[in-house]
Amino acid sequence: MTSRFAALGLAVALAAGPAAAQELSIATGGTGGVYFPYGGGMAEVINRHVEGASASAEVTGASVENVALISRGDSDLALALADTVYQAFHGEGAFEGRQVSELRALASIYPNAVQIVTLADSGITSLADLRGQRVSVGAPGSGTEVSAQTLLAANGITYDDFTPERLNFNETADALRDGDIAAGFWSVGPPTSSIMNLATTRSIAIVPMSDEEIANAIEAEPTFAPYTLRADMYEGMTDPVQTISTPNVVVVHEDMDEELVYNIVKAMYENVEELIAIHPAANDTTPEFSIASTPIPFHPGALRYLEEIGMTVQDHQRP
């Protein structure tokens, strides 16, 4: 992984004459979610369309770990859930006492839907049914766990009410398949491969959230929004399921070179069809979604591109 400080030297290196492309690391998540393939797509867009830069996607523990990687300068770009990003920037929630005010947004790229998966014959049909069960709440350091804790607490359920397991997406799917857990949380762009693969070997069900439960969650975390998983998204899923979603944000350090950020944002939006070819979640990668969903200030390079194409950002999105 490269340091953020390498970005500061890009203009100097280019001015001095031909040089090897600057290597950028993109912190993503596990291989069973959307972050890793999306991050790989971003790397390919940078490699093809941003002169003087090359990039590669790194497997990580996802949102919480990714914020730390940006803060330490161990990654150059990172994907993270909006609630994690908001808490880190303001020093709240999981980041109380360790504020990461140097975070800046490159873009919000697509919404993550919370998907609470169980086997069809488990008898679990509501959040309340998770009490007394063994439940995967997501990998340690993941935005999935942050979201799971928030929405459960907002509805009167804590880790004391069930046995939590901290498993990544593939491990959660395997544990459900083998009967080692009763349910598992995913916060990921739907559809996701680990649930799709599970649904081919076991009959699954997605636990719905009620209107009241969604309202409680949004009151606790304003970056949440209602979301409906469409019928037939996964094998055996015959009806739509009501849940909540959280935007995903690409973050960088405030010290990243403005021209480099501008060129990355421009390449991403103007070649978004290349990202869509890798994962359909990128259909939401638009300037409009980004301005509607980004909870922290944009990096000046991103802001410059958005204003150049005639977009008006919100007040809290200005550095």
CATH number at residue 120: 3.40.190.10
42 and 162, same structural domain? no
What total number of domains does the chain contain?
Answer: 2
278 and 184, same structural domain? no
143 and 88, same structural domain? no
105 and 253, same structural domain? yes
Query: In tens digits, what is the pLDDT along the chain, a chain of 319 residues?
Result: 445 444 444 444 444 445 578 999 999 998 888 899 999 999 999 999 999 999 999 999 999 999 999 999 999 999 999 989 999 999 998 899 999 999 999 999 999 899 999 999 999 999 999 999 999 999 987 889 989 999 999 999 999 999 999 999 999 999 999 999 999 999 988 888 999 999 999 999 999 999 999 999 999 988 898 888 989 999 999 999 999 999 999 999 999 999 999 999 999 999 999 999 999 889 999 999 999 889 999 999 999 999 999 999 999 999 8
136 and 65, same structural domain? no
Q: What is the pTM of this model?
A: 0.75
260 and 209, same structural domain? no
Tell me, what's the pLDDT at 17?
47
> By residue range, what is the domain housing residue 185?
112-246
242 and 128, same structural domain? yes
124 and 216, same structural domain? yes
152 and 262, same structural domain? no
234 and 256, same structural domain? no
236 and 139, same structural domain? yes
226 and 200, same structural domain? yes
User: 204-206 and 103-119: which strand pairing?
Assistant: antiparallel
Tell me, what's the pLDDT at 126?
98
